């Protein structure tokens, strides 16, 4: 019974990680080009004073804060927002994957999780200032 409870607890914990952006996702990422090549544009997700912070840089340059100024801090995306973002992907993606995001006025940082295996997926940055959400693939560089 104790082992079953432990397995259930771990499963629920991993499922929660797959559904929400958490401290687990604090890392350095690199934007991928259309053909999956690294572009040199890197982003680093962290927390400061209990707020999400996104920094960016070109490879070799110093980090700079690319989060918006005060008033547009990152927050958890609503279900309606996530559903809208999924429409910017090919139709089969929304059938096979769930999306969890944090966002501000400019972009959404998201984990695209396979519905059948929530720990399998990838990261995307969705530009929100273009009128229509534009997803861009990210590769995680650090743990």
Residue 52 DSSP code:
E
Q: Give me 104's structure tokens.
A: 């501000």
What does the block give as tokens for 133? 């959400």
> Residue 92 sits in which domain range?
2-140
Q: In what order do the strands lie in the sheet with 121-127?
A: 64-65, 51-58, 38-48, 28-32, 134-140, 121-127, 107-114, 97-103, 75-76
Neighbours of 107 (CB within 10 A): 24
Is residue 113 within 8 A of residue 100, CB to CB? The reply is yes
Q: Any idea what DSSP says for residue 129? A: T
Give pTM, 2 decimals: 0.83
Pick the closest to residue 98 from 43, 16, 35 (CA basis).
16
pLDDT at 19: 64
Q: What is the pLDDT of residue 17?
A: 40
pLDDT tens for residues 120-131?
A: 899 999 999 888
Average pLDDT, the chain: 85
Q: Report the number of distinct structural domains present in the chain.
A: 1
Q: Which residues contact 140 (CB under 8 A, 6 or more apart)?
A: 27, 28, 29, 123
Give mean pLDDT, residues 87-115.
93
Q: Is the pLDDT of residue 57 over 50?
A: yes
Tell me the average pLDDT across 108-114: 95
């Amino acid at each position: 019974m104790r082992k079953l409870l432990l397995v259930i607890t771990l499963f629920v914990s991993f499922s929660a990680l797959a559904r929400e952006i958490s401290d687990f996702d604090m890392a350095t990422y690199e934007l991928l080009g259309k053909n999956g090549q690294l572009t040199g544009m890197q982003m680093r997700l962290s927390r400061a004073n209990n707020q999400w912070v996104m920094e960016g840089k070109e490879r070799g340059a110093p980090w700079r804060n690319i989060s918006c100024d005060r008033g547009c801090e990152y927050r958890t995306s609503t279900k309606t927002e996530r559903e809208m973002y999924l429409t910017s992907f090919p139709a089969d993606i929304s059938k096979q994957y769930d999306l969890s995001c944090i966002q501000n006025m400019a972009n959404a940082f998201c984990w695209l999780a396979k519905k059948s295996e929530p720990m399998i997926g990838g990261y995307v940055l969705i530009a929100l200032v273009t009128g229509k959400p534009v997803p861009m693939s990210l590769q995680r560089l650090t743990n």
